[in-house]
Structure 1
């Protein structure tokens, strides 16, 4: 899993570079463009709507995985919703490292009881 974690961090660096260039060239006016494309009902809007649904799934998984996390649950869910890949590409390697590569705990949370049918 260390390879996957490293791959996520490389992708994050690529995303950070691309985002920095985009902000330098176009500023921070993402939301009006993002939702404006969706309202136009064209292919850019279809892609944005698809991506928006993926953000909702990411936030839902984060909230569910951290179901006993108190305030941290909602902070992480917020970052999953509005941070997208920029959040997950850092959060997943953190969880892999923290849980020694145990993907059941990474994906299902620390309360996961394990395989009911060993």
Structure 2
């Protein structure tokens, strides 16, 4: 679990630094570039489309993990737009709260407890 947490911290730091440098150099208006590449039907667009489906899956998982409550839906939306920058921080906090219990990290406390009772 320590290596996983180190990985999450490193990913968070690397993406944060990369994002700051890119945003400072090229502006913060990513949406037209991101979706414009997809509309162009080129390789950058294909990558963006593939990546976008990962973002959607991440958001869906976050909402599901929180039982589609209003807070869970909000976390899902933040996950879609925040990408790995958000997900790395979320998983780091979740791993600490769950004391390294991977079932709880992946399923949430209620589902992990229900599985443990079987």
TM-score by length of 2: 0.92
CA distance in 2, matches of 1:115, 1:41: 47
Match of 1:77 in 2: 76
Match of 2:61 in 1: 61
CA RMSD of aligned residues (A): 1.4
Q: Which protein has the bigger helix share?
A: 2
CA distance in 2, matches of 1:103, 1:30: 34
Question: How many aligned residue pairs are there?
Answer: 116
Q: Relative CO higher for 1 or 2, CA cutoff 8 Å, sep ≥ 6?
A: 1
TM-score by length of 1: 0.92
CA distance in 2, matches of 1:2, 1:90: 15
CA distance in 2, matches of 1:73, 1:64: 7
Instruction: Give runs of ≥4 in structure 1 deviating > 4 Å.
Output: none
Tell me by how many angstroms 1:84 deviates: 0.5
CA distance in 2, matches of 1:77, 1:61: 7
Structure 2: stretches of 5+ with no match in the other structure: none
